[in-house]
């Protein structure tokens, strides 16, 4: 398999160190929902990375005291045995790619820069930060991955194996994950940044996350993805997403904001339609989600302000708009939308520059 490397094993000397990476969450416009095989997406997805919503992961590693590796994991300073088990399983799954893992003991501390109560998915930011620290062990101890492009591509590959959407968090700005017909460089195995082709309106996009309900999700996305295997509409959905991804790349180039809005809202509603038509079905949107969507559409119709929405696997609404209309959208939120949000309010975020090495 790509990246399998028996050479990444300590021979006579061992290595220890401490690495810290901060990595962002991202919001998908064209959605990843459904997999073929292990962590291979059924269709390409497109997102932008956020600026404020980050995970920060500190990884300390030392030569293993026993015959196998150990992991000690804390989140916000508190031990998290469930997460720790998941990380151990994940590390074991990487044994052909990073054979050095079994020679080390790990202490991992993670935290989010957004409030835990916000109910924002943190798997993308968390898994991408962890993948970066692993790739940095390779760089630091084996003097490999010295080209930045190679480093981030491998980190994206490793992140995907932990959580698909995390493959898109390795870059700032707009990112594609999944092969798009006719678009060179795109791959099901890792994300790539869309660099040279973005219209200026899309370079400073805003995402205000309206927090409708912040409890835990009722259905894990892993289960949701699996249910696509038996969803009657899956084949058509994947075909639609492939087409939307292709169009979206074009739209980002031309700056056709009406088409952007059409695709983005259709993708959000289709994602939830897939959930509602799964067997068993599940319904993650709340009455407030629907009210917000209706308000957004009425406001757009009335004022011609280019604001639209997208949804994740939950009831919160991401309000998307170019920076040029920020002042009037702020007014719209405070006058109209605020009545529908929970006591946690909203998070004002925007497109961000991607991961940062902190140590
Ligand atoms: C609705 O990346 O969380 O956010 O690969 O099983 O970890 P796993 O799934 P995950 O799925 C994210 C789904 C989504 C849409 C998206 O981000 O594209």
DSSP string, 273-293: HHHHTSSS------HHHHHHH
Predicted confidence at residue 228, as pLDDT, reads 98
Query: Is there an atom of ligand 1 within 6 Å of 211 CB?
Result: no
Please write the tens of the pLDDT for every residue from 245-272.
999 999 999 999 999 999 999 999 999 9
Between the CA of 267 and the centroid of ligand 1 the distance, in Å, is: 14
Please write the tens of the pLDDT for every residue from 316-347.
999 999 999 999 999 999 999 999 999 889 99
> How far apart, in whole angstroms, are the C-alpha atoms of residue 251 and residue 246?
9
Between the CA of 163 and the centroid of ligand 1 the distance, in Å, is: 7
Structure tokens at 159: 């992140």
Q: Whose CA is nearest to atom 4 of ligand 1?
A: 312
The 8 Å CB, 24+ separation contacts for 89-95 are 90/161, 90/162, 93/161, 94/134, 94/158, 94/161
353 pLDDT more than 90: yes
Atom of ligand 1 nearest to the CA of 313: 1
**Domains of the chain as residue ranges with CATH:** 17-196 (3.30.230.10), 197-350 (3.30.70.890)
Atom of ligand 1 nearest to the CA of 271: 1
* Stretch 49-58: mean pLDDT: 96
Cα 163 from chain centroid (whole Å): 8
pTM over cut 0.95: yes
Predicted confidence at residue 325, as pLDDT, reads 98
The structure tokens 């894990």 sit at 220
Question: Exposed, middle or buried, 82 (CB in 10 Å: 0-12/13-18/19+)?
Answer: exposed
Asked if residue 264 lies in contact with residue 310, where contact means CB atoms within 8 angstroms, the answer is yes
The DSSP code for 100 is: G
H-helix segments, the chain: 81-93, 123-142, 148-162, 221-227, 234-254, 257-276, 287-303, 326-335
Please write the tens of the pLDDT for every residue from 239-250.
999 999 999 999
> How far apart, in whole angstroms, are the C-alpha atoms of residue 242 and residue 24?
25
Report the residue among 86, 313, 316, 317 best suited for mutation to probe ligand 1: largest number of ligand atoms under 8 A from its CB. Answer: 313
Predicted confidence at residue 240, as pLDDT, reads 98
Between the CA of 36 and the centroid of ligand 1 the distance, in Å, is: 14
How many residues does this entry show for the chain?
359
Please write the tens of the pLDDT for every residue from 287-319.
999 999 999 999 999 999 999 999 999 999 999
Query: Is there an atom of ligand 1 within 6 Å of 163 CB?
Result: yes
Single out the residue of 131, 128, 62, 73 nearest to residue 100, CA to CA.
62
């Amino acid at each position: 398999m790509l990246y399998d490397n028996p050479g990444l094993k300590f021979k006579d000397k061992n290595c220890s160190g401490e690495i810290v990476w901060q990595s962002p969450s991202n919001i998908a416009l064209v959605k990843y929902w459904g997999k073929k095989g292990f962590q291979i997406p059924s269709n390409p997805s497109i997102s932008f990375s956020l600026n404020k919503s980050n995970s920060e992961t500190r990884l300390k590693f030392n030569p293993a005291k026993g015959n196998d590796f150990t992991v000690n994991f804390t989140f916000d300073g508190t031990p998290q045995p469930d997460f720790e088990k998941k990380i151990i399983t994940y590390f074991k799954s990487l044994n052909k790619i990073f054979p050095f893992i079994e020679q080390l003991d790990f202490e991992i501390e993670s935290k989010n820069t957004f409030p835990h109560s916000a109910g924002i998915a943190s798997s993308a930011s968390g898994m991408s930060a962890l993948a970066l620290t692993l790739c940095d062990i390779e760089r630091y101890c084996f003097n490999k991955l010295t080209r930045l492009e190679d480093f981030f591509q491998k980190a994206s590959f490793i992140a995907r194996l932990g959580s698909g959407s995390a493959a898109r968090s390795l870059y700032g700005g707009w990112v594609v994950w999944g092969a798009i017909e006719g678009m060179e460089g795109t791959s099901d195995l890792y994300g790539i940044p869309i660099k040279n082709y973005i219209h200026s309106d899309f370079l400073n996009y805003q995402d205000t996350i309206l927090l409708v309900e912040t409890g835990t999700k009722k259905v894990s996305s892993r289960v949701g993805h699996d249910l696509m295997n038996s969803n009657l509409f899956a084949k058509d959905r994947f075909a639609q997403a492939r087409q939307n991804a292709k169009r979206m790349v074009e739209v980002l180039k031309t700056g056709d904001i009406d088409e952007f809005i059409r695709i983005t809202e259709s993708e959000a509603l289709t994602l939830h339609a897939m959930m509602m038509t799964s067997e068993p079905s599940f319904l993650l949107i709340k009455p407030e989600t629907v009210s917000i969507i209706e308000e957004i559409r009425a406001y757009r119709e009335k004022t011609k302000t280019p604001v639209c929405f997208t949804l994740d696997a939950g009831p919160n609404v991401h309000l998307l708009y170019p920076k040029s209309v920020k002042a009037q959208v702020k007014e719209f939120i405070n006058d109209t939308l605020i009545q529908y949000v929970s006591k946690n309010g909203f998070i004002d975020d925007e497109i961000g520059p991607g991961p940062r090495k902190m140590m």
